[in-house]
Amino acid sequence: MEPAWGRWGPVARGLVSIWLGYHVLAMFVSPWAVPPTSQLAISVQSYVAHYQTVLYLNHGYRFFAPDPGPANIVGFSVIKADGSQINGIFPDRNAINRDYPRLNYHRWFMWSETLGRMFSQWVSPSDFARYVELENARADELRQSGLALEADRVMAGLNLDQQVWAVADRDRVRILTRVAQELLKRHQGVELRLTMNQRMIPSLSEARAGMQTSDSRLLEPERAIELGRWRWDVATGSAQILEAGDSPSTEPTIEEFPTRSESSENE
């Protein structure tokens, strides 16, 4: 019996071959075009960008190679009903065996990287409110100076910024609340605090001197962000936000920021 592909004509086989080549190119270009890169890579990606987006192939995999950036570390403090406290971080390589299979550990890793991307250019509610106030004042000054058209442009830009900020903030709260709910359930906690910091990569000289990637000196406490506090609502069986993060936190310091998972004896 003749195989199904044998009934394809030369045109069909040619089209499928072209599509397969295009698909492989789209998969190859994503990590190749991650900056810093060549103009050639950027030019080639422009031909496959829409295809990558539709099929969700636009992954840079920058955290693997060739020049990985700093790691995003989320710290958490869980208060239990008896008043005891559990401090930890994620991703936590010491928890790989606990989060078996490894896919579970990878999910925590992707959570921290997603939050890091969301907060890399974060504008806190208080800072954004101040920006709105200044833009409104600028528009009023323009109108008083007889520049009504320019004032309208300022307000149109401000309205767009408000919409973008509101959507981004809603997404941040949604993801953070899911993270908080999972941590509260896992540790049987009643209240949770989340912070985020970045762990830098040792320089070549530091690595040669024996510095490990887990060294607490690689954390940057001045860049730590307070993500918020949540509590466990028994009535709804879900995490409820108590306080949203609003500004870079002066805590925890390098010494206080947890470097490994800690658990109580009864866990």
Cα torsion 125, 128, 134, 137: sign: negative
Global pTM value = 0.59
Average pLDDT on 150-157 reads 91
152 pLDDT band, cuts 50/70/90, is very high
Own/partner contacts of 240-249, CB < 8 Å, gap of 24 or more, are: 241/173, 241/176, 241/177, 241/180, 242/191, 244/125, 244/173, 245/124, 245/194, 246/124, 246/125, 246/126, 247/124, 247/126, 247/127, 248/222, 248/223, 248/224, 249/195, 249/224, 249/225
Torsion of CA 131, 132, 135, 140, to 10 degrees: -140
What pLDDT does 261 receive? 36
Q: Where are the domains of the chain?
A: 4-55, 69-267
Cβ atoms within 10 Å, residue 152 = 13
* CA gap 149, 140 in Å, rounded: 12
Q: 231 - beta bridge partners?
A: 191, 240
* CA gap 186, 62 in Å, rounded: 30
Question: 3-state class of 223 per DSSP?
Answer: helix
Task: Give 230 or 101, the one with higher predicted confidence.
Answer: 230
258 pLDDT band, cuts 50/70/90, is very low
Label the pairing between strands 189-199 and 85-90: unpaired
Average pLDDT on 39-49 reads 88
